[in-house]
Amino acid sequence: MSIAQAFLEALESISGNKLRSGLTVLGIVIGVAAVIAMLAVGNGAEASITGSISSIGTNLLFVFRGSPESQQEAPDRSSAQNDRPLTLADASALADPFAAPSVAIVAPAIQGNGMITFAGENASTTITGVTPEYFAVRNLELSEGEFINQEHLLGRMSVVVLGPEAADAIMGRHDGIVGESIRIEGQPFRIIGVLEAKGGGAFGSEDNSAYLPFTTAQARLLKRNARDEVDVIFVQATSGETVPQASEEIANILRQRHRTPIGSDDFTVFTQQDFLQTFGAITGVLTIFLGGIAGISLLVGGIGIMNIMLVSVTERTREIGLRKALGARRRDILIQFLTESSLLSLIGGIIGIILGWLISYAVGQIAAANGTDFIPLVTTDAVALATIFSAAVGLFFGIYPANRAASLEPVEALRYE
């Protein structure tokens, strides 16, 4: 029996039992659609997270207090408490073009949480004390107003640059608000600028933030043990290619200043690539997990195919006996039933791919309607995997029924009632 003939007979058999075939295919459709949709959601989440991180530049480095080991330990560990803090003097040393030629811009910052208030409305936001260099380092853009400048810094002025989400939370809008006065932790501040919406980043949402002059935040809101202590130093390398060299220069300068030997650093330097790799690994595991859970549906669909094919073998026992009596070989019967089970699974796979794409599209539209920057991605790899896997499921679960049909003795099959 040729493959073409087996295919035509399989189509005839499937069309002869439309309802039963449709219910059998439904299990595969649901399984494949679930796999496609889950993989699309996982890929979309990974693209969204890595895109948010990459949007602030691939040449950005972050310097934190504490060794790489203490960053992973509990915050109350004494080793973390005994680490020497980062200071403004450290930031100035990193900005030295002779000591660190691969470093372009350095921006120290202190961070905390606080309550902002306007006309009886209040909201919790991230408060960050920054220098004028911060906005260039983080690639932030204004929708209106101006950034914090050196005059604001030297005068310890009560001015603030708001993220659009923070502005919306207390004022109901984020345009035309420059010059308005708000209160931060009960103290009055004048709005001098509003940022363009940017979305989430490695340190939370940039949009739900209030940026103050470093000196103002340090003196009035975010007091630290030492006068010049900072929480984090943002460093921009001269280019993406010089990031490794800049990281090494930063480490050497801080080792000299903190008098720590190599291997006993009391600071940690992270790069954008470090964050991308970390988030990529997390979302990759999440995608595999979601795909695996959805894949269980395919196995259930495969069991349904086996069940229906066994019923089909029982119903067509006399037909099988007659075919064998007329000269059909064991291989012909085997091919006939395997083709039928694989075709059922393949049809379900194709419909499932279409349904999975529609589900992914719907999820993307719902996310867009809610203002979330999230687009599920249906990749060709996921489509190919679902197609191959669905056909393999039909083939695998069709082997036993096909082998049972091929093993029937012609005389016994003809006598079957």
242 neighbors 102 (Cβ within 8 angstroms) = yes
DSSP-assigned letter for residue 241: G
- 8-42: pLDDT as tens digits: 776 777 777 777 778 778 878 888 888 888 888 87
20 falls within a domain: yes
CB proximity list for 10: less than 8 A, separation 6 or greater: 336, 339, 340, 343
| 357 and 220 in a common domain | no
- 40-49: pLDDT as tens digits: 887 787 777 6
69 falls within a domain: no
Q: How far is CA 308 from CA 170, 282, 398, in A?
A: 61, 40, 10
| 252 and 302 in a common domain | no
Residue 183 vs residue 407, higher pLDDT? 183
How many distinct structural domains can be found in the chain? 2
| 286 and 229 in a common domain | no
Distance of CA 260 to the CA centre of its chain: 37
| 287 and 261 in a common domain | no
Beta bridge partners of 143: none
| 167 and 92 in a common domain | yes
Q: How far is CA 158 from CA 16, 117, 124, 219, 221, in A?
A: 80, 15, 19, 11, 11
| 147 and 114 in a common domain | yes
**Residue-level pLDDT at 64:** 87
Question: Which of 230, 265, 300 is the last residue in one of the domains?
Answer: 265
77 falls within a domain: no
Q: Which two tokens stand for residue 157?
A: 């002025």
Q: What is the mean pLDDT of the chain?
A: 78
| Separation between Cα atoms, residue 6 and residue 375, nearest integer Å | 42
**Residue-level pLDDT at 193:** 92
344 neighbors 28 (Cβ within 8 angstroms) = yes
Q: How far is CA 380 from CA 43, 244, 353, 354, 373, in A?
A: 12, 34, 11, 13, 22
265 neighbors 251 (Cβ within 8 angstroms) = yes
| 25 and 122 in a common domain | no
Q: How many CB atoms lie within 10 A of CB 123?
A: 17
| 253 and 115 in a common domain | yes
| Separation between Cα atoms, residue 234 and residue 250, nearest integer Å | 11
pTM for the predicted model, two decimal places: 0.58
pLDDT band at 416 (very low <50, low <70, confident <90, very high): low
SS3 state of residue 314: helix
Q: Is the pLDDT of residue 211 over 90?
A: yes
- The single residue listed with the structure tokens 């993989």 is 39
| 126 and 28 in a common domain | no
245 falls within a domain: yes
Q: Which residues constitute the domain of residue 337?
A: 3-53+277-414
79 falls within a domain: no
61 falls within a domain: no
Question: Which of 224, 244, 265 is the last residue in one of the domains?
Answer: 265
- 276-310: pLDDT as tens digits: 666 667 777 777 777 677 677 777 777 777 777 77
Percent of the chain predicted with pLDDT > 90: 10
Closest CA to 235 of 281, 271, 186: 271
Q: Is the pLDDT of residue 66 over 90?
A: no
131 neighbors 107 (Cβ within 8 angstroms) = yes
Question: Which of 265, 296, 315 is the last residue in one of the domains?
Answer: 265
| 183 and 118 in a common domain | yes
| 207 and 186 in a common domain | yes
pLDDT band at 379 (very low <50, low <70, confident <90, very high): confident
Long-range contacts (CB closer than 8 Å, 24 or more residues apart) made by 399-402 = 399/338, 400/306, 400/310, 401/306, 401/309, 401/310, 401/312, 401/313, 401/337, 401/341, 402/309, 402/333, 402/334, 402/336, 402/337, 402/338, 402/341
- The single residue listed with the structure tokens 């049972």 is 404
68 falls within a domain: no
Would you list the DSSP string of 72-89? Answer: TS-TT-HHHHTSPPEEHH
| 212 and 117 in a common domain | yes
CA torsion angle 376 379 385 390 (round to 10): 60
250 neighbors 90 (Cβ within 8 angstroms) = no
175 falls within a domain: yes
